[in-house]
Amino acid sequence: MTSLSEPAATSVLRHKTAIRRTSFSRPIKCLLRDGLLAASDALFDYGCGHGQDLALLGDLGIACRGWDPVYRPDAARVPADVVNLGYVINVIEEPHERTETLRRAWEMSRRLLVVAAQTEFAAPAKELSAFSDGVLTSRGTFQKYYTQAELRGYLEATLGATAIPAAPGIFYLFKCEENGHEFLANRFRRQAPVPPKRLSEVLFEQNQDILAPFMEALSLLGRIPGPEELSETSAIVERLGSLKRAFALVRRVTDEGTWKEIARRRNEDLLVYLALARFRRRPSFSKLPARTQRDVKAFFGSYNRSCSEADALLFRAGDATAIDEACQRSPVGVLRENALLLRKDTLHELDPLLRVYEGCARALLGDVEDANVVKLHRYSGKVSYLVYDDLDDGRQPTLRLRIKVSLRTLGIDVYRHSSPQPAPPA
């Protein structure tokens, strides 16, 4: 990607920083993965380089425009719902210009700014020439390699907004604080199937048109929805008297225990979110999304009580004995001498304490692309993310990358591997 403007009287060759790709860039992949970019959104790619992201997004039906000082210098820089500043600030050698570029991208974003920059993980092993506050590469381009903490601190200090890690070197900054909290709450909300109907009842059969979406809402929320959360509310009240009566009818024709289990899981999801919100800066009750406010009232009665329980859970995440005991009773993963190894796609089945334990690491690092195994260290306060090649094709897998996060020192270590490793748990 290229930057705000071409440098004057300098040996830095900014135009060489734009690369050609055949797939989406990492920040765009993150937006699509996390459901933050839909067909109804408009995206602006600030520093779009050759414009591959624009072409690929256009194929998905997403309205997008872009600007680049070398490849699209005459394009208008216009506001958009989502602005992508992907690998731009790390190639600007002048700190003031770098900051102005960041601020301009923030001003253009109506809902969300995603910022990506090169991290120290990507720095080449060979020694490079120091230049400004970064280095000059062999191609004559400038690079500033950030640590994860340094990049987040720079973004937050410059823009006065919370930077949420999406992946190493990639952060989301929401214009509305409530949208950021809603994104984090949804990150820890698990999916649950709608319980099947157990027996036939005339009243239920006569009202399936409104009870089917009602049951879907109950399954999603784990509680009776508010009027704004279910468009069929008026029809349900008119036909059945109230949402409580409708729920009583639903419980009669389904397995009531399943609804209790869904409510329990939603309670845990909320507790995990609130515990991890304290890890950064927990919002006041009025700043929570409306759905989360209803969750708090339904599951805990008051915000103070929910926060007290969340604080207790977060505190226990720092207790090595509690972590060890939770690892020993985990329903998923394989217990090793010093750690619990599990597939990444089974994280949602962990005990709430271990979900918070792993969530603290993700709050520092973001989601590690291609990581398929997670190692929860039982005693040392560390979480490792492992990237295996050939994990599911029957061959001996090869551990390619291991990133270890220390929750006690907030340090992040990266190890690259090439030799075959023992197969992780199935």
- Exposed, middle or buried by CB within 10 Å (0-12, 13-18, 19+), for 90? buried
**Residue 2 pLDDT:** 42
Distance CA 116, CA 172 (A): 9
**Which residue, among 87, 21, 81, 30, has the nearest Cα to 54 in the 3D structure?**
21
- Per-residue pLDDT tens over the stretch 410-424: 999 998 886 666 656
Residues 37 and 132 in one domain: yes
214 and 271 inside one domain: no
Please state the pTM of the whole predicted model.
0.82
- What's 32's domain CATH number? 3.40.50.150
Q: Is residue 423 part of a domain?
A: no
Q: Do 19 and 151 have their domain in common?
A: yes
pLDDT value, residue 1: 43
Per-residue tokens: 103: 């601020």
Each residue's pLDDT tens digit, 313-332: 999 999 999 999 999 999 99
| Residue 422 domain-assigned (yes or no) | no
Note the pLDDT tens digit of each residue in 39-66.
899 999 999 999 999 999 999 999 999 9
- In this prediction, the residues of the chain whose per-residue pLDDT falls under 70 are 1-21, 124-126, 199, 393-395, 418-426
**Residues 124, 83 share a domain:** yes
Task: Estimate to the nearest angstrom the gap between the alpha carbon of 382 and the chain centroid.
Answer: 20
Residues 40, 154 within the same domain: yes
Q: Are 136 and 217 contained in the same domain?
A: no
How many domains is the chain built from? 4
- 212 inside domain: yes
- At residue 234, the pLDDT reads 95
What's phi and psi for 115, nearest 5 deg?
Answer: -120, 130
Note whether residue 335 is domain-resident.
Answer: yes
- DSSP-assigned letters across all residues of 335-395: E-SSEEEEEGGGGGGS-HHHHHHHHHHHHHH-PPTT--EEEEESSSSEEEEEEEESSSSSS
- Is 78 within 8 Å of 112 (Cβ atoms)? no
Q: Tokens 């008297």: give the residue.
A: 241
CA distances (Å), origin 369, targets 57, 131, 273, 280, 387: 20, 30, 22, 23, 8
**122, 140, 175: which is the final residue of a domain?**
175
Report the pLDDT value the prediction gives residue 425, as an integer from 0 to 100. Answer: 53
Neighbours of 261 (CB within 10 A): 14
Tens of pLDDT, residue by residue over 106-158, are 999 999 999 999 988 777 666 778 888 888 887 788 889 999 999 999 999 99
Give the structural domain span for 61: 14-175
402 inside domain: yes
- Paired with 67 in beta bridges are 46
d(CA 402, CA 294): 40
**Beta carbons within 8 Å of 355's beta carbon, 6+ residues apart:** 188, 268, 272, 347, 348
| Per-state percent for the chain, helix, strand, coil, to nearest 5 | 45, 20, 35
Give the N- to C-terminal CA distance of the chain in Å, as an integer: 40
Residues 45 and 171 in one domain: yes
| pLDDT for the residue 7 | 41
Mark whether 45 and 137 lie in a shared domain: yes
In a domain, 426, yes or no: no
Q: What is the pLDDT of residue 84?
A: 98
Q: Are residues 311 and 325 in the same domain?
A: no
Say yes or no: 30 and 76 in one domain. Answer: yes
pLDDT of residue 169: 94
The answer to whether residue 213 sits within a structural domain is: yes
- pLDDT at position 15 is 58
The reply to whether 81 and 170 lie within a common domain is yes
> Among residues of the chain, what percentage have pLDDT more than 70?
91
Round to whole Å and give the CA distance between 356 and 359.
5
**Quick check: is 284 in a domain?**
yes
CA distances from 92 to 15, 17, 116, 226 (A): 11, 10, 13, 49
Contacts (Cβ under 8 Å, ≥6 apart) of 294: 221, 223, 226, 229
Give the pLDDT score at 395: 66
Is residue 21 domain-shared with residue 142, that is, in the same domain? Answer: yes
